[in-house]
Structure 1
């Protein structure tokens, strides 16, 4: 676990003991991991970093309302099939179903790609809560059997079992059946110390005073009833924006100029104005 944490740290991702243990078990036990928590806390980034640490391919399935099994599994290349038919007609030949529905014309989508990888990939099923119940039910069978049936080709078994990470922002409740098949970790916003460490790791040239002030400001904003609470990505974007403006501390002018990097709703900016004025005054007093 400590080695995994160190590897994540080297890539700018601060993983706590519980998350590092869960990720270690994904690899050791071959169990899917459900990462749940608010948007912007690093759930997707955890999967990307795991793939980088393992030196393997990341395959991402972005879920959305109306996603069906075929879109996630495979499609047939109808344009190539049509060209093949026309070429056969010109030669005076008849094309059979075996010709048209072979590997040549099969277009694997993320789930099929994942089980056909020669080396275990990291399969990221991102925002599973956006998909509907029918897709979730289909996913249960795949996670249990690790094989896919293509009617024209038969059953395709996994070449290697992928390391599966599912993420959810909890926009809807997931089924008990899915939860039973997964390890589980609730991902919360990082502490001040952890987030400061993330900023310093991701932006090695940043002034430490500025990094600390940005981190404190973001945590003050998260205490407000905002429509879109800033995540770690917004913290990094804000810090990077300030660095690009050659700021070495947070003041009222630089805060106002870069506010769009951290608050993405006009209503949130208006709500946060008094808090941010206080943040800028404190930063100036300390500076």
Structure 2
């Protein structure tokens, strides 16, 4: 599936989401491949990936549509320059699909089949979640000036959450659900080798073993995800490493950890690795 290494359980729930035309909610720690799955799915199916990045304060207008005000004004001015009276009918004409700016959800409904990625839904508030539930239930949106627009076929919807807050049961009931955890040693090595093909096998394996040990044994502010394992392996490879050398590893720590408090913790673990 687009180069994405999936286990049987995840592959099955993705197939069910496609077959049942149900949204798929993916929860898990950051960097475990939730967004990458949506990207791989779009690539594998040969359809467009339309992404809606959620954030605190996002509202329905930023997800649905807006009006192209500059073009509307230019249109009315052009009518005036041509000597036409700007009637009520002319003013109403600027609220047509010609001047509509489709945001991600409306684009997905109009362009389906497509993969609609609603990323980090847990960052949005309750009102947006309720609005989203309505759209996912009916696959249509109402625009007062135009009417109701309905998807010819429902888009493939992937929602991701880092679980910074609990989502409401109503939204969860609308979706199929899957938790994406950290992969085991062998699978993470496979993932790193596929995403960092230039790095030698020994370097990839050592990097994965170190990261997995950090997850198990270290009290980090932010545990590295698979994305950080890949970034770190690529950084080491670009520095010319064929094994995890202590100096090159420390020089590339910015690819692995993102908090000052974690740097000393990881340095100590690297020194233990070098000593062994």
TM-score for both structures, normalised by structure 2: 0.96
**Structure 2: any 5+ residue segments left out of the alignment?**
none
In the alignment, structure 1 residue 208 sits paired with structure 2 residue 201 = yes
SS at match of 2:52: strand
Tell me the equivalent position of 2:18. 27
CA contact (8 A) 1:255 1:280 kept: no
Tell me the equivalent position of 2:231. 237
CA contact (8 A) 2:224 2:256 kept: yes
Task: Compute the displacement of 1:204 (Å).
Answer: 2.0
CA contact (8 A) 2:246 2:271 kept: yes
In the alignment, structure 1 residue 41 sits paired with structure 2 residue 29 = no
Tell me the equivalent position of 2:66. 75
Q: In 2, Cα distance between the equivalents of 1:178 and 1:280?
A: 48
Instruction: Choose 89-98 or 146-155, whichever is displaced more.
Output: 89-98
Q: In 2, Cα distance between the equivalents of 1:205 and 1:133?
A: 45
Q: In 2, Cα distance between the equivalents of 1:113 and 1:173?
A: 28
Q: In 2, Cα distance between the equivalents of 1:45 and 1:242?
A: 22
In the alignment, structure 1 residue 192 sits paired with structure 2 residue 189 = no
SS at match of 2:171: helix
Task: Compute the displacement of 1:160 (Å).
Answer: 2.1
Tell me the equivalent position of 2:271. 277
In the alignment, structure 1 residue 111 sits paired with structure 2 residue 105 = yes
Which whole-Å deviations, capped at 9, do the CAs of 1:89-121 have from their partners, x for residues lacking one?
22222152331101111000000000101x410
SS at match of 1:31: coil
Tell me the equivalent position of 2:44. 53
Instruction: Choose 264-273 or 183-192, whichever is displaced more.
Output: 264-273
In the alignment, structure 1 residue 17 sits paired with structure 2 residue 8 = yes
Match of 2:127 among 126, 131, 134: 134
Q: In 1, Cα distance between the equivalents of 2:62 and 2:196?
A: 38
Instruction: Choose 30-39 or 83-92, whichever is displaced more.
Output: 83-92
Tell me the equivalent position of 2:140. 147
Q: In 1, Cα distance between the equivalents of 2:194 and 2:28?
A: 23
Match of 1:84 among 70, 75, 79: 75
Q: In 1, Cα distance between the equivalents of 2:149 and 2:92?
A: 16
Task: Compute the displacement of 1:243 (Å).
Answer: 1.0
Tell me the equivalent position of 2:55. 64
CA contact (8 A) 1:116 1:160 kept: no
Task: Compute the displacement of 1:208 (Å).
Answer: 1.0
Between Structure 1 and Structure 2, how many residues are aligned?
272
Q: In 2, Cα distance between the equivalents of 1:186 and 1:222?
A: 18
**Structure 1: any 5+ residue segments left out of the alignment?**
1-6, 283-287
